[in-house]
Amino acid sequence: MTSTRQMSRLAMAGLLAFVVIVSGTLSAGAQDTDQEAPPTPVFATNYEVHGLLSLPYAELNEPFTAYYDKEQDRSRTDYYDSEYQVYQFAAKSSPSASSYGSVYQFVYVPADFHKPGESRVHKLLDKAIERLPFRRHDDASAAKNHQDSHTVSAAPTTSQVKRVCFGVQGGPGYSVSAQTVLPDLRDFTYDSTGRCPHVAGGEHRESKCELWKQTTSVGDKKNVYKFWLKRDKQNSTQAIPVHYYMLGYDKLLGSHYDRYDISYFKYKVNGATDRAFELDVSGSKCGPMPGPGDSASEGERRARRVINNPIHEYVVEPHRYDHVDYHFEQFKSEYAQFTRGKYNSEQDERKGWFNFLHNLRFIHGHNRQRKSYKLAVNQYADENVSDLRYLRGRIHSKGYNGGLDYEQHHPGLKSGAGKAADQLPETFDWTVLGAVTPVKDQAICGSCWSFGTSGTVEGAYFVKTGKLLRLSQQQLVDCSWEFGNNGCDGGEDSRAYGYIMKVGGLSTEEDYGHYKAIDGKCHDKDVERPVKIKGFYNVTVNSVDALKHALVNYGPVSISIDASPMTFSFYSHGVYSDEKCKNDPDDLDHSVLAVGYTKIDGKLVWKVKNSWSTYWGNDGYIYIAADNNVCGVLDAPTVPIIDV
């Protein structure tokens, strides 16, 4: 097996390969174009090969190992050092004796975070109702959740990840067969012979390679495919794969829309032995996972094959994108309230489709890894992720922000004392205790700071009085400009506290008016402002105990985090921890609300409320690992001091 460290090296090698390709030096060395064309290459009918699938537009590198046995019509593909395994058996080799063949998937899934019987994700996994990357949103349950702020998930205590098996039986119109990882080159034409490209693995560096090409045009899309290969010295008719490259161009938009590379190494003829196809179910029965029905469209059938084994998309009729069309139409239907009126022209819809294609691949690719959290398609799936900066409106202030030192006012938390920290409960959740209002959607407005601020003031007021009021984010957006906030263009909780203290309080949503997601006209003098504060604490930086203490004693805490990684944008459920999520104070770009904490396998996890609607994340919440200050949770927490 390939170690994790080796896998990382391969991924880095793949990234280096991109530089070579883009700079035009992939086919480095003199090219002989005058020699007689060699015979059309064919690959062995039984092989083992290692490779790296690279998707630069999706920022993804996926190492894999494949076993292919055409004679027995069976295959196995392992991704990420066997973290995701796919076995495909045709009817004659199927362990289940299915007349249409069968597919078995071994995957790692994260812990569930709902009460038994309440989790949509849990139901999808355990019952395998759907293997598409959507989390079905129950409108009725969503409405109930908006009405009842106490409808919340239970604190998880189970293992972060577990290995499970799913079995898919073929059927009419969906016969399972072996999956090759090498494209059919019969429609390719010989181009030239020269030095092999410098790609992942390095074993072909000094060898001579043949270059074969194919160009296809479908509508406005023009795709160019290149394949580099070597010849077997003992049998010149047999090809040894080296590198596969695709670049797609869209004439309507005048830009490239797709790109992928597959590097091959350690190719071994007759390497797919019986041992490679032994199913390791570890004594557990594989759960059922239905295939497409008899009436399924060709797009849905292809979508199912790609979900079962992603390499299918790139080597079997790669010019087809009907599986993406199928997913995209589902997305538009599922998130109609977000896409309605969005596509005013063919160009607009095509851009959304392209963004969706690469986001979908990224989501699938992440979910094949052994991670403690999963991603899913959500309302942002047709967006260029770099354009989602508008959602992250936290502006960082330099220097002192006017808050009180938390540790100074709570001496029991000082280093060495430990008494206050020792008395804290092991788990704590204000959503269960009633101090948190329903999740809202800040929409196309960088007002996250107003939701973090209003959320912590709501909670602190509840702790003091036992009353939960829905306070106005719109008042903060409209009226706190004097203190350096910029409405929908960003702000900060400390500046909002300054405004609240000066004007004498924060109004309720009912009195001031509902949130509009625009910079409105301030009318704070015309309404009651019942919730007053007399200051705020800067909760001790990098102190887990201080944040837990503030949560337990003062209520939900406003925190600032780095929300720029793609994984954050498409987080679905599980314990979030991404090494790309930064924790430097200057990198914190989003304001959210810490509402509690729990432990999973003895490790502390923060429960955090976001302001991107209940369609995002775990019904609007995210669980963030507490070790190593992931995403900067401990960098700038604040909590107000209620004046009653």
Rounded Cα–Cα distance for residues 547 and 606 (Å): 10
For 643, residues 6+ apart whose C-beta sits below 8 A from its C-beta are: 532, 533, 534
Q: Answer whether residue 9 shows pLDDT above 60.
A: no
- pLDDT tens per residue across span 473-521: 999 999 999 999 999 999 999 999 999 999 999 999 999 999 999 999 9
Phi/psi at 582 (5° precision):
-85, 160
Q: Hey, do 39-116+158-295 and 387-643 end up sharing a CATH topology, with the first three levels equal?
A: no
- Paired sense of beta strands 621-625 and 571-576, if any: parallel
All structural domains of the chain with their residue ranges: 39-116+158-295, 387-643
- pLDDT tens per residue across span 318-341: 999 999 999 999 999 999 999 988
Q: Does domain 387-643 have CATH number 3.30.70.2750?
A: no
User: 103 pairs with which residues across the strands?
Assistant: 88, 168
What type of residue is 43? F
- Paired sense of beta strands 621-625 and 533-538, if any: unpaired
- pLDDT tens per residue across span 428-464: 999 999 999 999 999 999 999 999 999 999 999 999 9
> Would you give the DSSP letter of residue 111?
P
pLDDT value of position 35:
62
For 233, residues 6+ apart whose C-beta sits below 8 A from its C-beta are: none
Q: Answer whether residue 52 shows pLDDT above 80.
A: yes
Please tell me which residue, 93 or 432, carries the higher pLDDT value: 432
In terms of Cα–Cα distance, which of 301, 279, 259 is closest to 96?
279
Active-site residue set: 448, 590, 610
Strand, helix or coil at 422?
helix
In terms of Cα–Cα distance, which of 475, 370, 426, 454 is closest to 626?
426
pLDDT value of position 108:
84
CATH number of the domain at 39-116+158-295, please? 2.50.20.10
